[in-house]
Chains A and B, each alone.
Chain A
Amino acid sequence: MNARNYSYELAEEYNMQAYLEEQWKNMETLFIRKIMGFSSIGLGYKMQMPLIGRFLRWAAERQIHSEKPGRNPVRADGHFGQVLPLEDAQHIIGNLAAEPIIKNYCVCRWMQRGVKDAVCINFGCLSNIIPKLTRYIPVDQKWQLDREEAIAALEEQNKRGYVASVWFQPVPYINAICSCESPECGGLRLRNDFGLRTVYKGEYVVTLDRDKCQGCKNCVKMCQFGALRYLPSIKKVIVNHDKCFGCGVCRHACNNDALTLVPRESVPGQAGKF
């Protein structure tokens, strides 16, 4: 929660404007470009190869987390994020995000599902670049938002079942809060299916109060990560903490207040496991 990571001063210091222009011009082609002779086409199979697979994993992790100067925007170097609960996302929009704030069509959902869904909240100097890509600007709805509108939009999207996530683009500059859906999300695809750390788990995990759970199973439908399951024998829901990303979306479905987020650090097995 460092305000400097959201500031125009930081963006200027690293010349983020130029980086973001190039990155967004080439965003959809990221997975088909050859990087060191390898494209991401069939990446899952490539990473199963004995030695080459380990090298690819190492190179991809290095690229995703790169903080060095001379990062390549076309490869989206240094672009990774973290899942966060609605309250934290709203705090970022309310207090830290730099104006102007816009809402645009999700890139991942457009390029992987063919659906236009205006759920990505972008801010700072990125908001001045996206309008140049007219295909991502919502038609027939307001897309230039003030803080209150953006906070309300996040709440509505979270309750629909989308996972809020905050993104470096590139590290350390923060300029987007996405509302992600698995498996379309490019970040969650790499994390969940290929084990690359493009998206970190949140600072929380969800816990379920057995006494309050009535076994209505509504929360199970909300989880994007398969962390919740209903057991017919005990007529209650169980939580798999290893799979939980701490997004808190399941809470919206619970009418009995049985689900609560607790800090990841307070669950011994999950402390430090992002």
Chain B
Amino acid sequence: MDKTQIKIDYKKCGPNARIDPRECRKCMNVCDPAVFLMHPTLEEHKDPYNPEKWLVTPVWPCMCTGCMRCAQVCPEQAITVKAQRSLYQLRQP
């Protein structure tokens, strides 16, 4: 199966990088099918109600239409997309 692969370089975006995804949020805003998910990291947080370390994960790659706008809009060029077949295309007879 030709799956779309979206990778985010966490050295450029995330808790240890210059950019905090909670401040930027550009890729999420620009994505029509809402492929990205912004979430706290899975480690223990100092205040579990208000976690401080956040990441963006491309959680629904099968919805990606390959428009590449996320890669273009990212200020750190942290996103690479290898667009293959979306779920919609896979279901076509």
Contacts and interface: CB of A to CB of B under 8 A. Distances in A.
Interface of A: 25, 28-29, 31-33, 40-45, 48-49, 110-115, 132-135, 183-184, 189, 193
A113 to B, nearest CB: 6
A189 B40 contact: no
B62 A45 contact: yes
Interface in B1-57: 1, 3, 25-26, 28-29, 33-34, 36-40, 42, 48-50, 57
Contacts of B59: 31-32, 40-42
Interface string B49-93: 110000001111111000000000000000000000001001000
A42 B3 contact: yes
Contacts of A41: 57-59, 61
A28 B40 contact: yes
Pick from B40, B49, B90 the residue with the most CB of A within 10 Å: B49
B61 A132 contact: no
Contacts of B87: 44-45, 48, 193
Interface of B: 1, 3, 25-26, 28-29, 33-34, 36-40, 42, 48-50, 57-63, 87, 90
10 contacts: A28-B39, A41-B58, A43-B60, A44-B87, A45-B3, A45-B87, A45-B90, A114-B25, A133-B50, A134-B50
B87 to A, nearest CB: 4
Contacts of A115: 29
Given A32-B39, A113-B34, 13 more contacts: A31-B37, A31-B39, A33-B42, A41-B59, A41-B61, A42-B3, A43-B62, A45-B3, A112-B37, A114-B29, A133-B50, A183-B33, A189-B60
Contacts of B40: 28-29
A41 B90 CA distance: 17
Contacts of A29: 39-40, 42
Pick from B36, B62, B63 the residue with the most CB of A within 10 Å: B62
B38 A44 contact: no
A18 to B, nearest CB: 14
A161 to B, nearest CB: 16
A114 B3 contact: no
Contacts of A28: 37-40
B43 to A, nearest CB: 11
Given A41-B57, A135-B50, A183 B37 contact: no
B45 to A, nearest CB: 9
B30 to A, nearest CB: 10
